[in-house]
Structures are given as structure tokens and as C-alpha cells.
Structure 1
Amino acid sequence: MRILIDQNIPFIQGLLDSFAELIYLPGNKMSRADVKNADGLLVRTRTKCDAHLLKDSSVQFIASATIGFDHIDTEFCKENGILWANAPGCNASSVEQYVVSALLNLARKYQFELKDKTIGIIGVGNVGSKVAKAASALGMNVLFNDPPRKRKEKIKHFVDLENVLKNADIISFHVPLNRAGRDKTLHFVNSSFFDKTKKDVILINTSRGEIIDESALETAIDQKIVKATVLDVWQNEPLLNLDLLRKITFATAHIAGYSADGKAKGTEMSVRSLCDAFQISISDWSALEIPNPENALLQIDCRNKDNQEIIFEVYSKCYSILDDDTRLRKSPADFEKLRENYPLRREAKAYRVELIHCKSKALMNTLLKLGFRSVELTF
């Protein structure tokens, strides 16, 4: 059995050596000749699994170590008997961490209290649900919008898009890329979208770059309809619109889901699905060897600080979006290298927090809701 593996998938080197012939290649360089005699592929979003790659190959199964699967031509796979699996929710907590850092830094930059703001969550799946819970923990009013789920599940508190656009101060996108159909999201954010938003709206996109018409966004920024924008994904990545980049508040290289925890879970889920497909007996394997953070205890002196400032300081010690923003602006041409060589980042669950000179159990509970392993109050 021959399996082709994206060489940048973490925690996988050597794992399947005794079960198959393994070939490690850059995900964006896999060719038709490479996959022709392969039985399985283990990939990420940079490998376009379509007719151009797969036609006349022996591929039986594709495992993607990612939440998204728009890089897989599911119709072609169905027509040609190729099974596939993605890793839904694998990096949801990582994206939550990224969005919380974005919110805290936006609040600091523009001097507002998050508890005074309404956030609209467009797309309430694994990731959107996590972000909504975090926003609620921060005291924000949350609007939920997910038409497919509302139709299927009849969820009463979900609202329509017009409600979100009319009332949300901040809008965060967590939708798949659908190029057609009733729930089309390609260029979902366009000029008519901006005609309906509140003035000075703030946008955060961690889903897919193509859901935003970047020319319409640039116009909306110029016309001061949009106050601030956070983009982790781009319409033509890895090639960036440099004029737009200069106008974006925080810009990053498609790394919102790149925590070590999220990567390990994505690898674990994809390995498990591949093992199930080929009846390999290590399908219960778990990628447990995630490096620990350099300092797993976060100590904050809370004197003369309000709760939002304290949460900001806690978050800045484990992850700050500003670091990723700086790296991309310094070298936008190295978009792919920034992804390939991303530094170790652990999620909140890897950290303990000590709040010094603090008696607030409400603050302690907020940090616990944001996922920190433990929070200790010392006076």
C-alpha cells in the first residue's frame, strides 16, 4: 500500500512506516504522476484534490487534516468511488483563541469595552459555536446566524442576516466556501452587504478568503463604512492584495487554526480515518507529544486594572495576534513560509493563571470559561 503525505502535517513522521510505503511531499507540489499509483492521500488545504490530480489514479481514500474540505472535489470523488474524510472541529479552539486575541486588541486599540458591544457570528458550527461562547464569556451580546442549521434544526434564537447587519458592531465569519446554491458564500461579503451594515462595523474573517469580495471591502474601508478589519484568510492567497493589506487592522497568514493542539488533533483525526479506511490497527493512536509552553504559569499583578485589562494581559502572555500581524507585514511574499515555519503556540488549556492581588471570582470564572486549565486568586 502506498500513501502520499503532505510533509508539513505535524506529528506524523514515522507513524505509518511499518504499514505502508510512505511518500512525503510538499502539499502544493503533489502532481498527477505522484498520485497515479497511490492508494491513499493525507493532505491539507494546499493540495487540490480534483480531476486534474486524481484522474486515472489508484487513489481510494483521501484524509484531510483540516476542518475545511473545499480543496476536495467531492463530486468527482463520488463519481469515481474515492472516499474522503476531513477533520471537523479539529482547530476550533485555536480559532477561538485567535478571535479572542483579536477582540481584546481591537478593544484596546479603539478604546471600547467588549461588554458594550454586539457581535454577530455568521456560521455557528464547531468554530462559530466556540467563538460565540468566548464572546459571551467576555460579556458581549451575541447574535447567531446560520441559515442551514436554522432550517434543519429550527433553532429559535438564530436570527436572519438583516438582523446581524443592522445590529452587530462586530461580525465574525465561520462559514464554508460554497460556490453556488442556496447557501452560496462566494463573495458573500460584497457591496450590497456593506449597504446594510452599521456604520463603523468591525469585520473578522477566519473562514475562507473567497467569501469576501476584496475590492468591495477596500471601498467600504475607504468610505469609512468599515472601522476595522481582521483578516486571516485572503481571496488569492498566498498572493496578497498589498493595497488592501495596508488598510487592514490586523493581518495574518491563514494561521488562526495553527495552534499545536489544533494541528495535533487534525493529524489524529485524519490518521484515524485513514486507518479505518484501510483497516490498519493503530486507529486509536493519539498525538500526545505536544511540546509544553516555555512558561505554563501566567502571573498577573491585578492592582489598579479593570477586568478587561487583566484578561488582555493574560492572553498576551500565551498568544497575541500582534506577533502574527508583524510577521506577515514584514514579509508578505513569504506567506507560505510563515505557515510552514509557524512557531509553537499552545491553547489556553496548556496554561495555569495566577491573579495576584485579586479577589474577583467573576474574573476567575471568565478565564476558566475561556479555557485556561486553572485560575488561582492570591491577595
Structure 2
Amino acid sequence: MASEKRPASRRRPWYEARGLVAIPLALIVVITSVNLATPGHPYAGPLLIVAPVLAAVTLGPWLTTLTGVLASADQMIFAALLGDLHSAQRMTEIFAVVAASAFAALLSGMRERKARELTRVRQVSEIAQNLVLRPLPPRMGPLRVAAVYLAAEREMKIGGDLYAAARTAHGTRLLIGDVRGKGLTAVSDAALLLSAFRGAAHRQTSLAEFTAYLDASVCWNLAEPGEKDLAQECFVTAMLIDIPDHSPTVQIVHCGHPPPLRLRPGQATALCAHQAGPPLGLQLDIPGHCVDTFDFGHGDLLLLYTDGVTEARDPRGDFYPLTERAATWSGERPEELLEHLRTDLLAHAGGRLDDDAAMIAIERPAGRIRHNTTALPHKHRSESASRPKRLDVLRGSRPFAAPIFGP
């Protein structure tokens, strides 16, 4: 993993602990100063009980105990100076501070133990999530690639949106999709589709054949015991993309997913399907998947996204205008585009999204491809591939997880 994982039981840095311990200690100093400045009346000693309680919220058990000892000692010293240490009132006040200190130390220990357990659970969850939704490499063959994921659930880094990429013998193959629903159920369905993609993306099949295989994989899962009742409720909108290394084109299969945007200076064009197919997993007997081919030359940038981006609303209820915002971007690198859109999207939605959102930016840098002698017409061309015979070869084995092939 790119970032270093720190152990769950790591203690606070010394400078952080020092800053936190200063808060209850400052309270003790203030109360002591008041008692010294006004001996006898007013007597602020009973307020010392607040110091160990405050320490329990921010400090560990040892520092909380130390705070309680200081507060109790302060109480007894002033009671002795006033000459009524053995009075019933002073003894009650001292006992209250001691009892509160012991209780605060116990609570602090329980809080620290729960915090360590939560940290370990989060680390395990993060590892599992990274295994499901693997980071995309910044370079895949001649392409520059960047991705960003914004989960609707605060404690989760992934949800129902998914993406993956793999290298083939002639180019790069990508998947982006959105599972119906969100939460753990959506993560499970996303993991199944990603496993099927990684297990077969490198095989030399056409994009139409590969899409049919993924559709069959999702249907296999719905045919499992206990899943048949959800067959009509579970589906995945997806888009499959093939980008050849040595051809200024991109091939796309739309399965009920929003069309990608092709970005050129001052221009954002939606690459809409000639004949969009249904989402994966609906178990529809369709003759084949339509493959659309578009221009994707040097300097072009392709932006893939899920509906969580375009359906994000501002406080007035207006949708996020992705096409307009992307068209005004004047940067160069894919990661800079995604960072710009991420910041702008969160600002539009008030800092939090109601649905998962994912974006992928792919750039074909200038001077890295050999153009075909015959250019594509202005409008895209499409081909409809029938359900292939080679699909039976893929059906011979269930989907399995395989590493993403690098360039």
C-alpha cells in the first residue's frame, strides 16, 4: 500500500499529550490562584472535582490519575491552611474529589481500550476495502490514469460504486460501474463483479464478448441459493472500455451507465451510445452488446464517472453541472482534474454526498500514439456483436480474482 500503516496501539505523540494535559492542569492553577487571592471567601476548592473529569475526556488513565492526585492534594493543602481539615464539610469535599478522580481514571482506561479496538477494526476494514477496490496505477501503457472515490458512508472508503483497469496485449481495458443500493450489500456485489473482471480482463476476447461474460457472472451470483428473490432488485449499471495503444480511438459498451466525457481545450463532449444496453444482472436474453467507437487522440482526456457525481445537489436542490465544470478546466494532468472536480463537487454538495461517487480520468499524452491513415467520421461508428462462441470457454470456470496486469 502506498501509505504506511501505523499500529493500532500507537500512543499519542509527546507534544499532543503535553497540550492536552495542560487543560486540566490550567484549571487547577486557576482555582489555586483564586483561593490564594481570596483566602476563605469565596472558596473555590469544590471546583477541583472538574479537573479529573475533564482529564478523563482527553487523557489516558495514567495522566488522569495524576490529575486527580494533584486536585486531591490541592484540596487537602488549602483545607489545612484554613484550619478546618477535619471538619465534615472539608472531608466530604476531599472524598468527592478522590472518588471522582478514581471514577475518571476508570472511564479513561475504558475509553482508551475501546479506541484501540476501533482503530484495529478500521485498519482491518481499510485493508479489506483496498483488496476490493484496488488503486489504479498512474501509468498504464501510454496512458496516464487517475481515480477518486467518495463514499457516502463516513466510515467506509468504498460502497456500491466500482472501477478497475487491466492491461491487455493490445491496450488497456477499464470498467466503471454502480451497484444498486449502498452499504455492505452493495460492497459485496461490487466485489463479485470486480473479481470477474480481474479474472478475465486479460483474455483476448472482444469487448462485446467480455461484457457478456460479466453479465453472466452477475446472473450466476443471483442464481445462488438465497439470492433468487433479489434477482429483479439487484443489478449493476456499468461501462466497459477498451483503449488501444496504437490507435487514436476508444471502444465503449454502455450498460445503463452515464456516458463519459471527452475533454479537449474549452470543450467537453458526452460520448453517448448509439444503442445503450441494459444494466448487468437483469437476466435479459439480448442478442449482443453494441460496441461504440469514438475518436480519442493525442492530448485528449476521457472522464468516467458514476451518477453520484451528476446527481449531487446543492442546498437549493440543483444538480452538479459536471459537463459545464469540466469544460472550463484548463489544466493538463488527470490527477489535477480530479482534485479540482472533487473539491468543486464537495463545495457544491455542502461537504457531504448522499450517494457514492467515483471518477476516473484517462489521458492519452501527445506524441505517444501512431494515428491511423483513415480518420473516423465526425459521428461515432458502432458494431453490434452477437453473443460469441468463445464465451463458452469463459463460462467453463467461475470468476476468480487475479492481479491487475501492468504495462
TM-score range with shorter-chain normalisation?
Answer: under 0.3
TM value normalised by structure 2:
0.22
